[in-house]
Chains A and B, each alone.
Chain A
Amino acid sequence: MTNTDISDNGCWTQLEEPMETLLLDSKHFEEAERISHNNQAVSRQWSNYLQALALISFEAWLQEREPSLTVTRESCSVFQPEVASVIEAVCDLQLGGFRVCLIPTLRLTADEVAIPRAVVDIGAYAAHFYVVVALDEEAEVATIRGFLRYDQLVHYRSQLQPDFDWNYPLPSSWLNTDVNELLLNLQCLDPQAISLPIVANHHLTVLPRQRAEILAVLPQALEKPLWEVLTWEQAVDVLTQPHLLRWLYQYQTEPTPARHQELITALGDLLQILTRKAINVGLWMERRLDDLAAAVSWQIVPEAALVRETRRFDDQSIVQTLGELLEESLELEERPPEHAGRVYQDIALTDGTYLRLYAVAWPLDGQNWTLVIIAGARPGDLPPYGLQLRVSDQTGVLVEETLAQDQQLAYLFAQVEGSHDDLFLVTLRSASGATQESEPFAFPGGF
């Protein structure tokens, strides 16, 4: 017999006050397990499971005490693994006009409850009510331990120092344990009575300045908790950007090192897309450039009819070349329509490689638009063999092509499609590694 003491460690304690309890059964646990399995990040499943169990318990409690109150699960973070993996609370739970945040805990006797800083300090995750749900999986009992309103929590916050792990240690004794009052509020109160911070598009604060730094540290989130990797200010930017959260989740769920390298490249592009001002492609259709495009020396490809009249050699060559390229291209599924916006740019990479870049864009239907990029040598130069062309959007790298000598091609083509919310970033990399990114291209809706 080994020395292992399999007896239950710990001692029995008697709670000082009765608390609102509710009995759970196997179907509740099974549902929570199912939800947690949607989270592909294995190491986050348990946390996601507790959140799901807290949600299910809360719903069951409402069903028992006040069935007229029902929650809307739709936008709830429990079902969004990328959020559930980084914030250990159930956020964005809609209940009538209210937002409710559930804090799961396993303990009834602890003096404090850890409230994730994100759900208090970041408007997008803030809630009218914060409800602490204690889960006892062995007794199959959940306890609504207490709650606080947003205005109370914010008022108390002045006395709380957030921990280094991004939690507010809230003393349990500050919780309002009269859960009947919670029901009363949910049933009778006007949601306007508790004002939450306005959630508009979050304005990035540190990300634009610290892009390189974040690109260097965020990939460490594989082995380390996020609070060890980022400063809180950086975290606020990351946590408010759904695309960055999705990236992080993807990164944590795709285990091969090769895939990780690809994702890190995509992260670099994503950070550019999120932080840099975009060129409005829509104006090209009106043969116009916005200030940004003009400043980085994009030029409108003149209209063919005009060119024939002016007889300027340069213009003629550009029009002709682009026309031929678009005609020849095997990658293009359809020829660009007459009204497509056409621009070009001559660029010099830092290693002395000179390139000409064409961009053609046009709307496909009410929802989508397409961008064609053609990269090659300037007229008269040898093809830039070894040149790499990469196009990314917020979700990752879409196209990556290299100009190979043996393929007898002088130009690289890429065509991408997206909605009016999508932005595309084009990156060129010469054989010697000199790199240049474009400004992101956007085609705002309404055209």
Chain B
Amino acid sequence: MGEPWKYWTRVEFASTGHRRKSEVPAVKLFLQKHFPESAGQSKVSDREVQRCLTNWVRAGEEADRQMAQLGLHCYTTNAIEGHCRKFVNQFNQVDFDTLIGLVLQDEFIAEVIASYDPEKSALSTWTKMRIFSHRDVKRFLRLDHGIIKETDWQILCSTSPGALRRILGSERTAYEVGQGGELLQVFKEVYCGPLMAEREKLNQKSRRPYPQPTQQQLMKMALQLPPRPDSGWEDVLNQLRELAKVIRTDRAQPPVPPSARSDLSPEPQQDLLADYRSPCIAKAVSQVIETRLHHLSQGRNGEKKGKQYLNALGLFYCQGASMKDIARMVDLSDQPSVSRLLDRKTLKADISRHLVVCMRGCLDEGIGQGLSSPDRLKAWDQRVSTFLEEDVDKLMRADAKEGYTSQNRQMRTLLAQEICRYVQTVCRQCLKAACQCSG
């Protein structure tokens, strides 16, 4: 049973960008006419209402169809709000507005309703499934917060028989281990094997890479398993879920690797780096930023991204603008987006590596020897990195301390100056946010 108002109250973004709830009177009248119990304080049967509304949407007369569609739309917006809220309560570092912004979209809602089958689930459950299998939601959670979810089917597909035996082996009888092994093998044969052919059968829009096994597949698995008292397809489904749960929660104590041998010879002379770093830094900086610009230009909105990147670099490294200000000035939604765009950690790593490459050319007799061993090469990279770190770490520490709020910090470090010089060369006007320079 559910609250009837959810069918006539819509959650939406107003033109100001704020969220608001508003009643849709026509839908309210429509609902109350067809489901008289919804007029009072009492609850309605969601199952009943959702089934009727879906039927009208698919096969009703035009007037009914419109009202029913709106009713399902309202309900879905409420479901979206509820599920996002619940998620944020569990992971409170996730920004609610960003999350809901990704899915409180007419197009997404229409897709949820169009793919909804009232015989299989409740609309709220379906909405939840669609939210959290939505590409942008998963990307946002993965990239901004490192939050992921691995489905049972994904887990079963990528568990090797050997791994399963070890996981089960620790606590189960030999018989249970054998049963688990058989189940996994039959699952792989019936589900994973023909997966590509199965995917082709599914509708492109609503298709998921690892959908729940179909009833037909489960029945096939049941037939291939040795007969047991409980071997209906639903039991196979439960057994598979149980197996996935066991694998998921397995936490073995990782063995300690044998200590690596190191063949590091005496350190190269300190000042080799000092002598050559300056021309090499300039070269490394330009190579790495050019690569980055090229990469950005290949993606969606390539030209815009390239400009944003150059501008953000200029603002950060030349002007010492705060992340918040940069976000505003280059038209990005928030600080994390700027951080991700600048990706200073990778930038530093790439520049450092290019420095090593550059110096390899300059110092054949010095670093040249280093190339004959991974350990020596790593040591070289670390030395180069240390030079840069003095700069970059200072910068990063300053950010952390000042919480992205510092205004007009001057970046006086070597690397910052070099990046700044590069940006200025590429585009003279980039110091202003309104810059229209083309990367």
Contacts and interface: CB of A to CB of B under 8 A. Distances in A.
A binds B: yes
Interface in A251-306: none
Contacts of B87: 12
Contact of A140 (B90, B128, B132, B135): B135
Contacts of A4: 120-121, 212, 237
Interface in B151-200: 151-152, 154-155, 157-163, 165-166, 185, 189, 192-197
Contact of B260 (A3, A152, A169, A190): A152
A16 B145 CA distance: 10
B254 A173 contact: yes
Main secondary structure of the interface of A (DSSP, over half): mixed
A189 B371 contact: yes
B23 interface: no
Contacts of B146: 14-18
Interface string B123-158: 001101100110100110111011111111011011
B250 to A, nearest CB: 7
Interface stretch (A73-81, A100-108, A234-242, A341-349): A100-108
B151 A180 contact: no
Interface stretch (A159-167, A211-219, A386-394, A416-424): A159-167
Contacts of B138: 136, 138-139, 141
Contacts of B151: 8-10
Contacts of A158: 258
Given A67-B291, A180-B353, A109 B165 contact: no
Contacts of B119: 1-2
A4 B125 CA distance: 11
Question: Which of A3, A43, A140 has the most C-beta atoms of chain B within 10 angstroms of its own C-beta?
Answer: A43
A361 B374 CA distance: 55
A66 interface: yes
Interface residues of B, number: 85
Nearest to B353: A184
Interface in A1-36: 1-18, 21, 23, 33, 36
A445 B351 CA distance: 53
A354 to B, nearest CB: 51
Interface residues of A, number: 79
Nearest to B234: A3
B350 A66 contact: yes
Nearest to B131: A8
B360 interface: yes
Given A6-B120, A9-B151, A187-B357, A149 B295 contact: no
Contact of A139 (B142, B166, B248, B378): B142
Contacts of B353: 66, 180, 183-184, 187-188
B196 A10 contact: no
Nearest to B128: A7
B431 interface: no
Interface string B94-134: 00000000000000000000000011111001101100110
B134 to A, nearest CB: 9
B346 A36 contact: no
A105 B244 CA distance: 16
A190 to B, nearest CB: 5
A357 interface: no
A159 B371 contact: no
Interface string B346-358: 1001101100110
Contacts of B147: 12-15
B251 interface: yes
B158 A193 contact: no
B394 interface: no
Contact of B196 (A45, A156, A194): A45
B274 interface: no
B135 A188 contact: no
Question: Which of B91, B159, B162 has the most C-beta atoms of chain A within 10 angstroms of its own C-beta?
Answer: B162
Given A21-B142, A49-B196, A107-B150, A192 B372 contact: yes
A10 B149 contact: yes
A169 B162 contact: yes
Main secondary structure of the interface of B (DSSP, over half): helix
Contacts of B248: 10
B150 A108 contact: yes
Contacts of B210: 106, 137-138
B152 A46 contact: no
Contact of B257 (A8, A46, A108, A171): A171
A112 interface: yes
A5 B120 CA distance: 8
A138 B255 contact: no
Nearest to B117: A6
A152 B148 CA distance: 30
A12 B91 contact: yes
Contacts of B349: 180
Contacts of B350: 65-66, 180, 183
B377 to A, nearest CB: 6
Nearest to A163: B162
Contacts of A180: 346, 349-350, 352-353
B373 interface: yes
B194 A141 contact: no
B391 interface: no
A64 interface: yes
Interface string A188-204: 11101110000000000
B294 interface: yes
A42 interface: yes
A14 B129 CA distance: 19
B142 A46 contact: no
Contacts of A133: none
B209 interface: yes
Contact of B189 (A18, A43, A47): A43
A160 to B, nearest CB: 8
Contacts of B128: 7-8
B81 interface: no
Nearest to B93: A14
B145 A14 contact: yes
Contacts of B159: 110
B381 interface: yes
Interface string A124-166: 0000000000001111110000000101100110110001110
12 contacts: A1-B118, A1-B119, A4-B212, A14-B148, A15-B148, A66-B353, A159-B257, A171-B257, A180-B353, A188-B353, A192-B372, A193-B373
Given A66-B291, A107-B150, A114-B162, 20 more contacts: A1-B120, A6-B212, A8-B149, A9-B152, A12-B148, A46-B195, A67-B291, A107-B154, A107-B155, A112-B254, A139-B139, A156-B257, A158-B258, A163-B163, A173-B254, A181-B381, A188-B353, A190-B372, A192-B372, A193-B377
**The 5 residue pairs across chains A and B that have the minimum distance between CB atoms:** A163-B162, A139-B138, A43-B193, A137-B209, A15-B146
